[in-house]
Amino acid sequence: MTDYQKYSFETRMIHAGYGGDATHSVVPPLFQTNAYYYDDVAHAQRLFELKEAGNIYTRITNPTNAFFEERVNALDGGVGALAFSSGHAAMFNTIINLAVAGDEVVSSRNIYGGAMNMFGVSLKRLGITVKFVNPDDLSEWESAVTDKTRLFFTELIGNPNANIADIEKIAEVAHKNGIPFMVDGTFCTPYLCRPLEHGADFVVHSATKFLSGHGQVMAGIVVDGGKFDFKNNPRFPLYNEPDVSYHGIVFADIGAAAFIMRLRALIMRDLGSCLAPFNSFLIMNGIETLSLRMERHCENALKVAEFLEGCPQIETVSYPSLKSSKYFDLANKYMPKGASSVFSFRVKGGKSAASAFVDKLELIQNVSNLGDIRTQVVHSATTTHSQMSSEQLKQSGIDGGDVRISVGLENVNDLISDIKNAL
């Protein structure tokens, strides 16, 4: 297999994960199949016992999905990756791969509202407790740790206010206590930041967003950095005790790929949140232009943010690449090429003024999505974060006057004109 790490990012995003096949196709082929034939009974048995690599069933592996997984893994710098049917599925399955009823997770409270609901309601119903902390306060991370803690989680760029988490310092707290750390890199993509190089153990992406970039698919992916050692860690009997479904295999004995192997061979096998091969095919096309798109996203976003900051109708602009942002230094540290293109701004006059502004936009779409080539806005408090209580909204810094914007690739003068007219 080609060592793609010797190449630059732009080369990897075009070539990594696919070195050709028997058809000699230049473009990674779409394998639209649900199953694969075995050479004989012995061959099938070796596959099912994890003694030989190969395709068994598309719920577990598929060549087109593998192209996608290997490409993102090469971009993030991990030891393996696994694709899911959505970003939410990727997050949920990662937690289930580490925690059972009675266990705990510590999460930033400045995250997507749907994730807050998954963590605070659905996981709670399964007996897994999630403690939410201020990501800027390391003492809160430390204080939340108990002997039941199985994972730290944060978004590198928080949704919707684009706060930047100091992931190196959070990783230090996690690893000091023998806990793995997962970072959501959806907003930054591997082009702007590779969290595994800053202490994260796992990176999760909603590939629905910037990785795809064209609003066509739903997908998620988890990348394993391979550096967290599960062996003899008392927090993880799941990895150190024999697994009955694989005749006593001890996943910690696998080594660097223990997490991603268990995630695929056990969690994906049983819960089945697999990605359709056609979606992988589309995302691969999107990734081929990732660096170009992210450069334009960041360039446009900064110009829009600077314009908004000078508007008398706008109270605040929460974009970390602005020199006025409290996160300006962290943004430059972790994302020197730009802090993505998703942020919030507060319209003076509260919810009614923000709603009127959104309704008057003509070019910019009112859509609860982000990371699209099209510029989109949404009123966070009544949509993406509507499941949060008023107290949670307040703690997360979300106000009725806030509008989240995901700046696309249109001509920035057209975007500014549309915003100006709506204001």
Place of tokens 């809160």: 140
> Mind listing the pLDDT tens digit for each residue in 205-221?
999 999 999 999 999 99
Mean pLDDT to the nearest integer, 234-238 = 97
Determine the pLDDT at residue 66: 97
Q: What is the CATH number of the domain that holds 196?
A: 3.40.640.10
**Boundary residue ending a domain (238, 261, 286):** 286
Residues 151 and 253 in one domain: yes
Residues in the chain: 423
Res. 388 pLDDT band, cuts 50 70 90: low
Residue (of 135, 127, 234) closest to 177 by Cα position: 234
Residue 169 has pLDDT above 90, yes or no: yes
Quickly list DSSP for 295-322: HHHHHHHHHHHHHHHT-TTEEEEE-TTS
Average pLDDT over residues 405-411: 98
Query: Are 119 and 148 in contact, with CB atoms under 8 Å apart?
Result: no
Q: What is the mean pLDDT of residues 137-165?
A: 96
Does residue 3 sit within a domain?
A: no
- 113 and 241 in a single domain? The answer is yes
The percent of residues above 70 in pLDDT, for the chain, comes to 97
- Give the structural domain span for 263: 8-286
113 and 220, same structural domain? yes
Query: Are 272 and 298 in the same domain?
Result: no
pLDDT at res. 328: 98
pLDDT at 1 over 60: no
Same-domain status, 306 and 384: yes
Same domain, 301 and 260: no
- Residue 62, pLDDT above cutoff 80: yes
Q: Nearest Cα to 341, choosing from 370, 380, 307?
A: 370
| φ/ψ bin of 338: left (φ > 0), alpha (ψ from -120 to 50), beta (otherwise) | left
Any domain includes 403: yes
Q: Kindly state whether residues 167 and 276 are assigned to the same domain.
A: yes
- Domain membership of residue 13 (yes or no) is yes
Looking at residue 389, its pLDDT comes to: 65
Of 239, 270, 286, the one marking the end of a domain is 286
What is the number of structural domains in the chain? 2
123-140: average pLDDT: 97
pLDDT of residue 157: 97
Residue 38 is encoded by which pair of tokens?
A: 């075995």
Is 240 inside a domain boundary? yes
**What stretch of H or E contains 406?**
strand 402-406
Are 256 and 320 in the same domain?
no
Q: For 25-59, how does the pLDDT look when each residue is reduced to its tens digit (9 = 90+)?
A: 999 999 999 999 999 999 999 998 888 999 999 99
What single-letter amino acid sits at 260? I
Over range 218-225, report the average pLDDT.
Answer: 98
Pick from 286, 304, 333: which residue ends a domain?
A: 286
Contact 181, 171 (CB under 8 A): yes
- Residues 52 and 148 grouped into a single domain: yes
pLDDT digits (tens, 9 = 90+) for 79-97: 999 999 999 999 999 999 9
pLDDT, mean over the chain: 95
Confidence tier at 3 by pLDDT (50, 70, 90): confident
Pair (275, 304) in one structural domain: no
Q: Judge whether 2 lies within some domain.
A: no
Q: Residue 362 has what pLDDT?
A: 97
Average pLDDT over residues 344-354: 94
Q: Out of 176-180, 307-311, 385-389, which region has the weakest mean confidence (pLDDT)? A: 385-389
- What string of H, E and C letters represents the secondary structure of 197-237? HHCCCEEEEECCCCCCCCCCCCCEEEEECCCCCCCCCCCCH
pTM for this entry: 0.94
Question: Average pLDDT, stretch 394-403?
Answer: 77
- Mean pLDDT, range 93-108, rounded to an integer: 98
The CATH number of the domain holding residue 297 is 3.90.1150.10
| pLDDT exceeds 80 at position 397 | no
Q: In this structure, is residue 270 part of a structural domain?
A: yes
pLDDT of residue 143 exceeding 70: yes
Q: Between these two residues, 375 and 379, which has the higher pLDDT value?
A: 375
Q: Are 228 and 341 members of one domain?
A: no
Q: Are residues 359 and 385 in the same domain?
A: yes
Q: Give the model's pLDDT for residue 408.
A: 98
The residue among 22 and 268 whose pLDDT is bigger is 268
The number of beta carbons lying within 10 Å of the beta carbon of residue 192 is 25
| In contact, 346 and 401? CB cutoff 8 Å | yes
Asked whether residue 108 is assigned to any structural domain, the reply reads yes
Per-residue pLDDT of 269-311, as tens digits, reads 999 999 999 999 999 999 999 999 999 999 999 999 999 999 9
Q: Which residues contact 43 (CB under 8 A, 6 or more apart)?
A: 52, 54
Q: Alpha helices of 81-222 — where are they, by DSSP H? A: 87-96, 113-117, 123-125, 138-144, 167-176, 189-192
pLDDT in tens, 316-331: 999 999 999 999 999 9
* Residue 405: pLDDT band with limits 50, 70, 90: very high
